[in-house]
Amino acid sequence: MMSGFGAVAAYETARLFRRPFGWLVLAFGQGLLALYFLLLVVRFLENQGDLQTTGVTVEIIMRYFSVAFVSVILLTPLLTMAAIAGDKRSNMLRFLYATPLSTSALVLGKFAGVLSLSMAHVVLLSLIPLTLLWGAPIDLGVYATNVIGLVLFSLMHNALGLMASALTRAPVAGALIALMISLLLWFAEWGARLDPEASMIGRWSTLTRLRGFAEGLLVSADIVYFFAATISLLIITAVLVSMDRDLA
């Protein structure tokens, strides 16, 4: 299994990094976040007297990462949409089905491949706020919890994107499915706000689960939520791929 997993992961990683589309998505995301970070710094400098009480960590770091989380929602479906759907359309999956490669190795290899490009996005996003260390004190604890939250959030959304890609033969449709589910999970908290009796819905909200990370807290329930969601989505993906394999 390990050799098959490594082969699929290496193939998927090489394919993603060879294609200009992935680099364009990363460049677009990095450019927008860098511009937003610059605007936050300028805003803080221009209103330093009013914002000094809350500080750099709250006014720049926490605001920056709140948009970084949104960038994962918007960009990850674009990075994962062709992982399985593209291979279905090109009949590459039929070739893989004919090999001794197990379904779990195939899914985990695909996941590792898309994760390599997505984690590059996360690493670059996480480096930008560290430039503040040259001239301003920041709470490294809050910074670290936000980075951890961003990594867990990205893990879950890569698994979600992979599952959505397994549902269809059209990559664009896979991206739209992943984006729709991501937004539903993000805004599930609003359901609880509108209807207090629907508090259970709010607990499924990724926005609710990220709040602790954003404020510098590591809550075990939130960490378990993201790991459990990632594993569950990968299992569903494996089931979908296995069903498609049986029909091929």
Tens digit of each residue's pLDDT, the chain (248 residues): 556 777 888 888 888 888 888 889 889 989 999 999 999 988 888 887 767 677 788 888 999 999 999 999 999 999 999 889 888 888 888 888 877 788 888 899 999 999 988 898 899 899 999 988 887 788 889 999 999 999 999 999 999 999 999 999 899 999 999 999 999 888 877 766 665 555 566 677 888 889 899 988 898 999 999 999 999 999 999 999 988 887 76
Q: Which of 176, 156, 154 is nearest to 165 (CA)?
A: 176
CA distance 58 to 146: 12
C-beta of residue 77 within 8 angstroms of C-beta of residue 164: yes
Select from 63, 79, 74, 71 the least CA-distant residue to 30.
Answer: 71
pTM of the model: 0.90
Q: Which residues of 187-215 are buried (b: 16+ CB within 10 A; e: fewer)?
A: ebbebbeeeeeeeebbebbbbbbbebbbe
pLDDT recorded at residue 93? 80
Check residue 195 and give its pLDDT.
Answer: 59
pLDDT of residue 173: 93
pLDDT at 206: 87
Spatial distance between the Cα atoms of 189 and 206, rounded to a whole number of angstroms: 8
* Alpha-carbon gap, residue 238 to 248, rounded angstroms: 15
* Packed helices 2-18 and 20-46: angle between N→C axes, nearest 10 degrees: 70
Length of the chain measured in residues: 248
